[in-house]
């Protein structure tokens, strides 16, 4: 099939390469000029896609990056994998989806399948996306064009092939479900159909909010166990020996990335719209969003024991990516921690082996990790536990090391 995938980011690019390697002709639509240049040069900016994979699929003519949908010939399938952020009021913002629909409406022909991969709230496909497209194009969903919803299950940095992850699919009608099931069946090893787009939309939010809630739970416990002189990480490790009824989650400096801190608000919006306001989701968001300030307070106490204060101190943050092993800093707690420290009069420096020293922010200076930088800092704060960090140098050269991830086992290291 000929496929146009709008959005070549952390979801769209790996999916596009998977579809191309399955034999489809894939037009990767990327409007960001820097990203488009990288794609044309076969330089991947996504950790889950290699330069060699780009060269292979571009060389055989199955992957063709384009800067605009107007440059794409007639296709059989459109896939929308664009960001769905939050407004300032933390409500769902589908502006990027709407723009993609407007682009498709200008060129779509009857009979095409339109698949939404972006995270949306339940009933968004039925009540917002399909009606908007009909208004823009004059084509009727279910008759002229067919809408499907298939949420991404991408977890950057995880060592698992995308095509090995069961692919959830749904359609606004039986024909749409048949089309999307057959299409993704040619790419993924297992396709899981559900009865409606609403089920698939809700499933995506449940999957991510489940993780978010459990992280909030252990983050809340960590505040108490640090006062009780109990290692919560040892508690979780001990509980993990139970062969049923328990899943391990670990506390940390906050929750980053695009999906988890975003999806809890999408689910909250859906429940509010149904007249079921969730105090649990609100409490979880409050707990996880409070962790950067908690880290700052704990660090302040550790400095006080050395006769220092945050005001006038220099803190070196290790790791700015939102999780280990990725070059993605979206919503990273490092930014919030840096802002908290700066508000207290602290000089903040950061280093990250995955992001280099080209990071720009108002609250910190990016540096290379060296023994001198460690010695010059009053405290070294581990926020993201990349394997590539030189922990031996950190331990040998730092006056105070504060570990937010529980990966440095030395007794002199302060633990969150």
**Residue 30 in tokens:** 């990327």
How much is the average pLDDT of 135-153? 97
| 348 confidence band (pLDDT: 50, 70, 90) | very high
pLDDT above 90 (res 241)? yes
pLDDT of residue 369: 96
pLDDT above 80 (res 240)? yes
pLDDT of residue 89: 93
> Please, which residues bridge with residue 403 across strands?
382, 415
pLDDT digits (tens, 9 = 90+) for 80-125: 999 999 999 999 999 999 999 999 999 999 999 999 999 999 999 9
| 45 confidence band (pLDDT: 50, 70, 90) | very high
Of 192, 118, 177, which is closest to residue 152 (Cα–Cα)?
118
pLDDT of residue 159: 77
The topology under which CATH files domain 291-415 is Rossmann fold (3.40.50)
Strand order in the sheet with 113-116: 63-66, 25-29, 2-6, 77-80, 113-116, 146-149, 167-171, 191-193
How much is the average pLDDT of 283-300? 97
Looking at the domain that runs over 2-195, which CATH code has it been given? 3.40.50.720
**Residue 160 in tokens:** 């698992």
pLDDT above 90 (res 182)? yes
pLDDT above 90 (res 280)? yes
At residue 108, the 3 state secondary structure works out as coil
2-195 and 291-415, same CATH topology: yes
Spatial separation of the C-alpha atoms in residues 91 and 93, rounded to whole Å:
6
| 400 confidence band (pLDDT: 50, 70, 90) | very high
pLDDT of residue 93: 96
pLDDT digits (tens, 9 = 90+) for 16-28: 999 999 999 999 9
In the residue annotation, 404 being an active-site residue is answered as no
pLDDT above 90 (res 181)? yes
> Please, which residues bridge with residue 27 across strands?
4, 64
pLDDT of residue 390: 96
Q: Which residues lie closer than 8 Å to 408 by C-beta, 6 or more apart?
A: 382, 391, 394, 395, 401
How much is the average pLDDT of 332-347? 95
pLDDT of residue 210: 97
pLDDT above 80 (res 414)? yes
Spatial separation of the C-alpha atoms in residues 271 and 50, rounded to whole Å:
40
Spatial separation of the C-alpha atoms in residues 409 and 84, rounded to whole Å:
39
pLDDT of residue 416: 95
**Residue 58 in tokens:** 């571009």
| 158 confidence band (pLDDT: 50, 70, 90) | confident
DSSP 258: S
Task: Count Cβ atoms within 10 A of the Cβ of residue 59 and give its class: 0-12 exposed, 13-18 middle, 19 or more buried.
Answer: exposed
Distances (CA, A) of 335 to 83, 254, 256, 319, 359: 20, 10, 10, 10, 11
Which of 42, 259, 374, 404 is labelled catalytic?
259
Q: Which residues lie closer than 8 Å to 234 by C-beta, 6 or more apart?
A: none
Average pLDDT, the chain: 95
How much is the average pLDDT of 311-322? 96
Of the ranges 120-134, 152-166, 320-334, the best mean pLDDT one: 120-134
| 291 confidence band (pLDDT: 50, 70, 90) | very high
In what helix (H) or strand (E) does residue 208 lie, and over which residues does it extend?
Answer: helix 197-227
pLDDT of residue 16: 97
pLDDT above 90 (res 213)? yes
pLDDT-above-70 percentage for the chain: 100
How much is the average pLDDT of 6-19? 96
At residue 383, the 3 state secondary structure works out as coil
pTM over 0.85: yes
pLDDT above 90 (res 371)? yes
For the chain, domain boundaries: 2-195, 291-415
pLDDT of residue 66: 96
pLDDT of residue 356: 83
| 258 confidence band (pLDDT: 50, 70, 90) | confident
């Amino acid at each position: 099939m000929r496929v146009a995938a709008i959005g070549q980011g952390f979801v769209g690019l790996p999916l596009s390469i998977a579809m191309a390697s399955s034999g489809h002709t894939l037009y990767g639509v990327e409007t960001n000029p820097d990203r488009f240049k990288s794609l044309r040069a076969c330089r991947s900016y996504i950790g889950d896609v290699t330069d060699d994979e780009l060269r292979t699929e571009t060389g055989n003519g199955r992957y063709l990056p384009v800067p605009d949908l107007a440059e794409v010939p007639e296709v059989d399938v459109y896939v929308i994998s664009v960001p769905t952020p939050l407004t300032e009021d933390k409500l769902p913002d589908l502006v990027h989806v709407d723009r993609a629909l407007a682009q498709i409406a200008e060129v779509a022909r009857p009979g095409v399948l339109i698949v939404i991969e972006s995270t949306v709230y339940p009933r968004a496909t039925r009540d917002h996306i399909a009606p908007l497209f009909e208004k823009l194009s004059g084509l009727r969903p279910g008759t002229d064009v067919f809408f499907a919803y298939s949420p991404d299950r991408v977890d950057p940095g995880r060592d698992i092939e995308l095509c090995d992850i069961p692919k959830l699919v749904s359609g606004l009608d039986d024909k749409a479900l048949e089309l999307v099931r057959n299409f993704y069946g040619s790419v993924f090893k297992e396709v899981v159909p559900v009865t409606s787009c609403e089920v698939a939309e809700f499933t995506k939010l449940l999957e991510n909010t489940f993780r978010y809630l459990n992280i909030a739970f252990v983050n809340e416990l960590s505040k108490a166990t640090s006062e009780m002189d109990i290692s919560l990480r040892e508690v979780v490790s001990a509980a993990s020996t139970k062969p049923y009824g328990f899943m391990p989650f670990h506390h940390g400096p906050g929750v980053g990335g695009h999906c988890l801190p975003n999806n809890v608000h999408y689910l909250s919006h859906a429940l509010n719209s149904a007249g079921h306001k969730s105090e649990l989701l609100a409490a979880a968001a409050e707990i996880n969003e409070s962790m950067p300030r908690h880290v700052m307070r704990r660090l302040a106490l550790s400095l006080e024991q050395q006769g220092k204060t945050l005001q006038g101190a220099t803190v070196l943050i290790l790791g700015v990516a939102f999780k280990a092993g990725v070059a993605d800093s979206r919503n990273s707690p490092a930014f919030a921690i840096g802002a908290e420290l700066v508000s207290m009069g602290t000089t903040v420096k950061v280093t990250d082996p995955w992001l280099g020293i080209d990071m720009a922010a108002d609250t910190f200076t990016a540096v290379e990790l060296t023994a001198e930088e460690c010695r010059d800092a009053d405290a070294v704060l581990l926020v993201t536990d990349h394997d590539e960090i030189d922990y031996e140098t950190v331990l040998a050269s730092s006056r105070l090391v504060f570990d937010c991830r529980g990966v440095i086992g030395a007794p002199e290291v302060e633990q969150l």
